Amino acid sequence: MILSVCDPLFADSDGGVVFDHSLYAKVLQRYVVEGGVNYQELKQHRGELDDYVRRLEGLSPEDYARMSQNEKMTFWVNAYNAITLQVIIDHYPLKRRGLTGLAFPSNSIRQIPGVWDGIPRRILGKETTLNEIEHQILRKEFKEPRIHFALVCASIGCPKLREEPYVADRLEEQLDSQVRAFMSDPEKAQYEQEGDVLYLSPILKWFADDFKAAGGRMAFVKKYFPKEKSAFLLDQTKIKWLDYDWSLNERKGRP
């Protein structure tokens, strides 16, 4: 396979196709710190993010078919997160949209009309929305529950956005790291031994069916919960759901 200098693809040792996420890596390194995104500066210097999304849109179905499963998964996870960043800066600063926006913070992604199903990007020759990437591609085709801790919907209630892209040869490590970090955050998961109550992010309620292949929701939580507390978790442990914070995952100023 002969690729041009500007082509975001290269061949691996097995002859498969690898997508180059280096432009996206630069964006994350410059504008993301501990999960917070400097949207103000990113909006002012958006060239690399826009170029990266154009590269995503330029991938052919034929080259995609030559990717490994892990390569395909990283392509879609990075695509979801990068397009979300792009949609945010397209509408930044976010403002409340009339009465329909009163249920959410004024700086929430929920203030963007049609954010998940009405702002498509043309990928692999088809108009594709964020909802389709998450539900029709990642959840349906890969059946990997850990993706719920990698996809970031630009909200504080979401998992934290990594300061690096997902890459195929480190995907297992990166996904495990994401879940452990999420389960170690008391705003997302906490256990009270008195009363035997586990407080969890509603992410684990919204996608309960996806955890069945991992032995069920409680088995999944126990695997990634801090070890000093996981031993207390039992099938009969009561679960209560924490509130989900839809405020923008924004940081301002330089680190």
pLDDT tens digit sequence for 154-201: 999 999 999 999 999 999 999 999 999 999 999 999 999 999 999 999
Among the ranges given (10-14, 44-48, 119-123, 202-206), the one the predictor scored with the smallest mean pLDDT: 10-14
For 96, the token pair is 């409340």
How does strand 9-11 pair with strand 17-19? antiparallel
Residue 5's pLDDT band, with cuts at 50, 70 and 90, is very low
Q: What is the mean pLDDT of the chain?
A: 94
Residue keyed to tokens 């998964």: 73
Length of the chain: 255
13: pLDDT strictly greater than 80 = no
Helix or strand or coil: residue 112?
coil
How far apart CA 73 and CA 138 sit, in angstroms, is 7
CA atoms within 13 A on the CB side of 74: 26
pLDDT for 255 equals 52
In tens, the pLDDT along 49-59 reads 999 999 999 99
